[in-house]
Amino acid sequence: MRGYFGIGVERLSKAWNAGSLFRTAHAFGASFVFTIAADWRASEARSDTSNAFEQIPCYEFASVAELRLPDGCRLVGVELIDDAEMLPSFRHPPQAAYVLGPERGSLSPELVARCDHLVRIPSKFCVNVGIAGAIVMYDRLLSLGRFPGRPGLPGAPPLALPKHVQGKVRRRSEKAS
């Protein structure tokens, strides 16, 4: 899978939830994790049994204004609002940073204004921040990864993965037609 992604949280108050989210991010291959205005320190996230903070960079920003992302990285807010695009229909950017809100609240208006995209998980109500992050990362993996198609019937074998097709070899001396 090409590209990279990071995932973070704004104003999260429970280190346990962050530890769960960041452990899952580590498992799904996140390139970085981050917090914005968190009420705890990364070292307090005891639920992270994979020690993600020792494996991938963790950036801690004191405010939305201090948030810095790599050039070309698109900020994707995950929020349960009507204007957000439904996650199953969303085309994930190759370079993305996903951000989730606090346990008992929403993304701040300042952060929503900075987002390039807003997506929502099609659920009846909000789910735990760690679960929401896992759903988003799994959807990214499914949509950008190269997997065989699902069979038409339960129990049937998966569809064959089409062979990768490469284009014609081009040399620098050749002119484009």
- Delimit the domains of the chain by residue range: 4-144
pLDDT for residue 14: 76
Q: What is the mean pLDDT of each run of 10 residues along the chain (177 residues)?
A: 91 80 90 90 60 79 96 96 94 97 91 97 90 96 88 88 80 66
4-144 belongs to which CATH class? alpha beta
- pTM, two decimals, is 0.85
Q: What is the pLDDT of residue 131?
A: 94
Give residue 49's pLDDT: 60
Q: Shortest CA distance to 6 belongs to which of 103, 63, 65, 78? A: 78
Q: Please tell me the predicted confidence (pLDDT) of residue 109.
A: 96
111 neighbors 77 (Cβ within 8 angstroms): yes
Q: Does an H or E element contain 137, and which? A: helix 129-144
Distances in Å between the Cα of 33 and the Cα atoms of 6, 19, 29, 122, 176 are 5, 11, 11, 24, 42
> Strand order in 32-36's β-sheet?
58-61, 32-36, 4-10, 95-100, 74-78, 117-120, 85-86
Write down the pLDDT at residue 145: 87
- Of 66, 69, 3, 7, the closest CA to residue 37 belongs to 66
Amino acid at 17: N
